[in-house]
Structure 1
Amino acid sequence: MSSEKFELDGQFIEKKALKYEGKAKQVFATNNADVLWVHYMDQVTALNGKLKEDFPEKGHFNNLISNLLFDYLTQSGIANHWLANISETDQLVKRVDIIPIEVVTRNYASGHFVSRFDVKPMMPLTPTVQEFYYKSDALDDPFMNDSQILALKLATKEELTDLRIYARQVNEKLVALFKNIGITLVDFKLEFGRTADHQILLADEISPDTMRLVDQSTGESLDKDVFRKHQGDLRVGYQEVLNRLEQFLNQ
């Protein structure tokens, strides 16, 4: 247990016991039941954890990138769980119960979409494709349709409508942002959670771990595909994304 503290809106938030450790983050309770302390680890995984390696500074990049993007979305009026950046690897978020559905938005064909439908990589997708997946590493995150989600009572019909609207709004904002810094947003995954009063908030993280990003000038990947495909040190691309975001957003 840590004695680390951070002042938030006049209240000192103190890190308490570890609640959960995932593939890339640790989540700690705090002295405020509605606030969680998130630590980004120096670890990268792929294929639902089947590939795993330690990468010094990787947590630093993901935390700072996610912090910038959540702050940008907050200023754009999109409700989310982010509260404050604590350090280069830690942030505070609102406590939510994660909905076990991954919402994937595809602007261009890549990854599983290419292999599943035998189409050319980077083919523009019009209209933009939205997909739902069941959040389960053990089951390899299977694709889900609306009736399956409703039958398993993972979300209501109204909530599914909200998830689609949120994902479209986030996509619009992020596509515009990345276009301004010379990057194409190919596709990305979002997760959402419910607050104690049943409000749905964008949650988890938004980083090159959860997006496919391609440099518009070189065509090079700036995301976790570099690790998946053994193309080099993913930190090079993550650093480039962070540099461009900081330069643009901190003008």
Structure 2
Amino acid sequence: MKHVYTGKTKDVYELEDGNYLLKFKDDVTGENGVFDPGANTVGLTMEGAGQAGLRLTKYFFEILKEKGIPTHYIDANVEEATMTVQPATVFGKGLEVICRYRAVGSFLRRYGMYAEEGQPLDAFVEVTLKDDERQDPPISEDALDMLGILSHDEYKELKDITQQIAATVKEELAKKEIDLYDIKFEFGRAKDGQVILIDEISGGNMRAYKQGEYIEPLKLEKLMMEK
């Protein structure tokens, strides 16, 4: 097993069979000790966050598998906080794709002249470049195509699959009377060129509320995994 990458919230290893192993850490993104799924820095360490994030990720990836939505997921070991995935190449140097159902976070900071906090949004899809130095700037479909990061056809596929996955997560959360405000995904190209979901789907990359109160990642995992 060869260590290939150290990330903010997980480490990546290459396996002998050509697949990869993701090792989930207890670090979550945020600033000044406050969790923020859109932050570029590790803000705090929460004991058990790695396992909790993986437990929820496994839950969602297995639902997507049943629905035939393409992801890199193969299997997961929650006890060891590891997930085995198929190889995929990222778009450019990495994109983040956010699906928004409510105006909060960076959407509100940018568009606050027109939007009110918590205002409903119609599964708005936003793509940002993974670029810590430039604070992950949003980028349009035309710019993605012109810069050779993503073609127009791939963008349409990316947007469609993003809305499908977000709708699935929203539906599952609603079963526990939890409202999904926004969720962040990462995508890549599989060996055959297909656009697939990569990384994770956990409390650490979404904002969820219950009766108007924000639910922290670890609490969200507990609520979702309760029988």
TM over 0.5: yes
Structure 2 partner of 1:58: 49
Identity among equivalent positions (%) equals: 25
Using structure 2 for the length normalisation, give the TM-score. 0.89
- Is 1:124 paired with 2:120? yes
Work out the CA distance in 2 between the residues paired with 1:242 and 1:105: 20
Unaligned runs of 5+ in 2: 31-38
- Tell me, yes or no, if structure 1 residue 29 matches structure 2 residue 22: no
Q: What whole-Å deviation, never above 9, does each CA across 1:14-34 have from its counterpart, x for those lacking one?
A: xx011111100001010111x
CA distance in 1, matches of 2:204, 2:218: 13
| Residue 198 of structure 1, CA deviation | 0.9
**1:181 Cα shift?**
0.9
Aligned partner letter, 1:220: E
Which residue of structure 2 lines up, in the alignment, with residue 39 of structure 1?
A: 23
* Higher mean displacement: 22-31 or 138-147: 138-147
CA displacement 1:24-62 (0-9 Å, x = unmatched): 0001010111x111100111222301x533222111111
The equivalences for 1:139-150 within 5 A come to 139-150=134-145
Q: Distance in 1 between matches of 2:184 and 2:69?
A: 16
4+ residue segments displaced more than 6 Å: none
**What residue in structure 2 maps to residue 231 of structure 1?**
none
The answer to whether the 8 A contact 1:133-1:144 is kept is yes
**Structure 1 residues 200, 152: CA separation in 2 closer, same or farther (over 3 Å shift)?**
same
| Contact 2:23–2:83 (8 Å) recurs in 1 | yes
C-alpha separation in 1, matches of 2:70 and 2:127 = 20
| Secondary structure at 2:213 match in 1 | coil
Deviation at 1:161, TM superposition (A): 0.7
2:76 corresponding residue in structure 1: 85
Q: Which letter maps to 2:111? A: F
Q: Which amino acid aligns with 1:37?
A: L
Alignment size in residue pairs:
214
Shift of residue 241, structure 1, vs aligned partner: 2.1
TM-score of the superposed pair, with normalisation by structure 1: 0.81
Structure 1 gap segments, 5+ residues each: 1-15, 223-236
Q: CA deviation at 1:138?
A: 2.1
Partner of 1:225: none
Select the structure with the greater relative contact order (CA < 8 A; seq sep ≥ 6). 2
Residue 165 (structure 2) pairs with residue 170 (structure 1): yes
Q: CA RMSD in A?
A: 1.5
Give the whole-Å Cα distance in 2 for the aligned partners of 1:244 and 1:76.
Answer: 23
**Alignment partner, residue 4 of structure 2:** 19
Q: Is the 8 A contact 1:68 1:245 kept in 2?
A: no
